[in-house]
Homo-oligomer: A and B are copies of this chain.
Amino acid sequence: MYTIGEVAKLLNVTTHTLRFYEKEKIITPERTEHGDRRYSESHLQWLRFVIKLKETKMPLVQIQEYASLFLQGDRTTQKRLGLLKNHQEHVQNQIHVLNEIDDMLRKKISAYEEYLQKRDFS
């Protein structure tokens, strides 16, 4: 079990962010008798997953939705699957777009380099 400070350090977020996620019902850690948050391994895993999803521009509201499906348990498995598939498409699309841009940049860069070379030798 980890304290909020430990989790923050491990995941490179601030304690503020963790409390914010709790307010937004994205994660609900346990509490000690004194009311301090305690995060388990599985909480950590879930948070790592959330952070990954964020890296793909998934908006918090969607992450929220996914989280709430989890809390509703087994009968939402289909829905969760749908959500994941949907998001995967999204990610694959992003990859596609980024590859295009990479290409574009490559071209622009070599155009610049060619230009600079010509100028050097003239």
A61 at interface by CB-CB < 8 Å: no
Which B residues touch A55, using CB under 8 A? 97-98, 101
A104 CB contacts on chain B under 8 angstroms: 49, 52
Are A95 and B105 in contact (CB-based, < 8 A)? no
A115 in the interface (beta carbon within 8 A): yes
Is the pair A102, B88 in contact by a Cβ cutoff of 8 Å?
A: yes
Q: Does A116 contact B (CB under 8 A)?
A: yes
Which residues 60-116 of A have a CB within 8 angstroms of B? 77-78, 80-81, 84-85, 87-88, 91-92, 94-95, 97-102, 104-106, 108-109, 112-113, 115-116
Contacts A95-B99, A98-B56 given; does A105 touch B88 at CB 8 Å: yes
Chain A interface residues toward B at CB < 8 A: 49, 52-53, 55-57, 77-78, 80-81, 84-85, 87-88, 91-92, 94-95, 97-102, 104-106, 108-109, 112-113, 115-116
Contacts A52-B100, A91-B98, A91-B105 known; list 19 others, CB within 8 Å: A49-B104, A52-B101, A52-B104, A53-B101, A55-B98, A55-B101, A56-B101, A77-B112, A77-B116, A81-B109, A85-B109, A87-B105, A88-B102, A88-B105, A88-B106, A91-B101, A92-B102, A94-B98, A95-B99
